[in-house]
Structure 1
């Protein structure tokens, strides 16, 4: 089961990346060149956690960022924190004193959740107002942080910081409210199932294994491995797997493709960076852009 917010990391030992010899910097993720009527947009696949060893990115991505008039992200992680807080309150927190989420779980799962919270040093009162899907997301992040990767070093964070240092325009292809609403619209029973499957996946090490696979594929720009991961995601028949495939990928890809096509039409040089799983598999964003008649070239 691939994790709910596409927060991927791995048990890979972070290693130094040379910063004084660009030829030694490896390709990361996936990179596409989108063209129409003399306009060019570079489409880069990201993961939503990171490590110092990820940076800097390879020269073609860096050059594209430097020449672009606009950087497009799913959501700018350094954008309005008030807006993010409102979205968390609206979609991720119980209202009117309802909760805690553990009361929605079968009795056998409650001590398992408590053990994971203790393992990650998360005080139980701090999660009491959280809906089950939000707790599942928190557990996912903490699991991967325990392996040495951090959300504040996520690729989108690095890209946003780079753009801000150059006073470059940043546009969002989605909104944090829209993203969180996808989870918040789940029924309470489905959210509880989502949390149960997250607990199972963490305890069984399945989540760590899947994260290791995608982090390794991203870190080495391994096209074949990324396609295998896309196939596995599409065939995952758990509730969480179906939610990821149908809601977080298939349901969002058309809107992301529309946003990138609109960006290309109005900007001569731009960069769009979205989660790498949106760029592979059937119905991917590059495939949808080709269907729009745009020239799409995979660089790696």
Structure 2
């Protein structure tokens, strides 16, 4: 669960102020999946992103770069957050337990001890995190774990695309605001949030291995395989999946269908999980009568 929360809160990686210095390696070619929807005067490209990626991947080239360069607008989940401090009021409003409960009060003594041990091993101050909501702790822990494993938000899809859009003067738009996204994360059931905490306490190695597999599938453009892995994981947190994936996909598909009425070309970049499997953005657009094609390269 905490991997999905991290992916759904891309802006938080900047807010955490964490540094990452993975070893450099020779570039590895990656060919992630890309789709297109078009009519006579409108083109929408759909690109699934990964928010934390190894530095040695070369993916922003070939068809992906061509589609991006042909677009007038970059549309992402969130607008870039240039001042992480600006998120502090949201953190105080939505990431602190409103009833004043601590993690020790939400977990069994055994689970809390395992959680504290895990936080110490990850490198986060468990004591300072006690008043915070489980979803926010999961996001922070996931971010640190990914970076220690050599995955870097600065190499992630959103950051690379944002810098390219700014350099070329493209318009950057977003489906959601940080407050909307924080509110969704905060609305997920506490019982399911705590599953994410237990994953950190007991399944860190397994979770990192799963993330590595997801990235491997992403680099090869294997969207179906990525979807199967994610769907299997989501079985244990169905309400979280509904709030963070299914309902958002429906809103975004509606937005994109309306966008087809305006001329121009848009490069849509959202978390790869939104573009895989049943009820994906492509699936919903197709149900509305739009033709979605995979860009082969």
TM score, norm. by length of structure 2: 0.84
CA 1:297 to 1:6, structure 2 compared with 1: closer, same or farther past 3 Å?
A: farther
The answer (yes or no) to whether the contact 2:2–2:199 under 8 Å persists in 1 is no
Q: Which of 173, 176, 188 lines up with 1:174 in the alignment?
A: 176
In 2: Cα distance, 1:26 partner to 1:136 partner: 28
CA deviation after TM superposition for structure 1 residue 288, in Å: 0.8
CA 1:71 to 1:117, structure 2 compared with 1: closer, same or farther past 3 Å?
A: same
Match of 2:69 in 1: 66
Within 5 Å, give how 1:198-277 maps onto structure 2: 198-202=200-204, 205-233=205-233, 236=235, 238=236, 241-277=237-273
Unaligned segments of structure 2, at least 5 residues: 9-21
Q: Which of 135, 138, 141 lines up with 1:139 in the alignment?
A: 141
Q: Secondary structure at the match of 2:151?
A: coil
**Is 1:33 aligned to residue 36 of structure 2?**
yes
In 2: Cα distance, 1:2 partner to 1:193 partner: 9
In 2: Cα distance, 1:179 partner to 1:15 partner: 34
CA deviation after TM superposition for structure 1 residue 157, in Å: 1.3
CA 1:225 to 1:231, structure 2 compared with 1: closer, same or farther past 3 Å?
A: same
**Is 1:278 aligned to residue 274 of structure 2?**
yes
CA deviation after TM superposition for structure 1 residue 244, in Å: 4.2
CA deviation after TM superposition for structure 1 residue 91, in Å: 1.5
**Is 1:16 aligned to residue 26 of structure 2?**
yes
The answer (yes or no) to whether the contact 1:33–1:41 under 8 Å persists in 2 is yes
Q: Secondary structure at the match of 1:33?
A: strand
The answer (yes or no) to whether the contact 1:214–1:229 under 8 Å persists in 2 is yes
In 2: Cα distance, 1:197 partner to 1:242 partner: 16
In 2: Cα distance, 1:80 partner to 1:42 partner: 29
The answer (yes or no) to whether the contact 1:102–1:110 under 8 Å persists in 2 is yes
Match of 1:54 in 2: 57
In 2: Cα distance, 1:121 partner to 1:242 partner: 30
Which stretch of structure 1 is more off in the superposition, 257-266 or 151-160?
257-266
Which stretch of structure 1 is more off in the superposition, 121-130 or 111-120?
121-130
**Is 1:44 aligned to residue 53 of structure 2?**
no
* CA deviation map 1:157-213 (0-9, x unaligned): 1111111122211000122212211221245555434423442332xx331232122
- Kindly report the root-mean-square deviation, in angstroms, between the aligned alpha carbons of the 2 structures: 2.7
Matched residue count: 283
Match of 1:294 in 2: 290
Within 5 Å, give how 1:95-106 maps onto structure 2: 95=98, 98-106=100-108
* CA deviation map 1:6-60 (0-9, x unaligned): 549xxx9974227xxxxxx4312x2001112321111101111122223451222
CA deviation after TM superposition for structure 1 residue 222, in Å: 1.8
Match of 2:19 in 1: none
In 2: Cα distance, 1:70 partner to 1:40 partner: 11
Unaligned segments of structure 1, at least 5 residues: 19-24
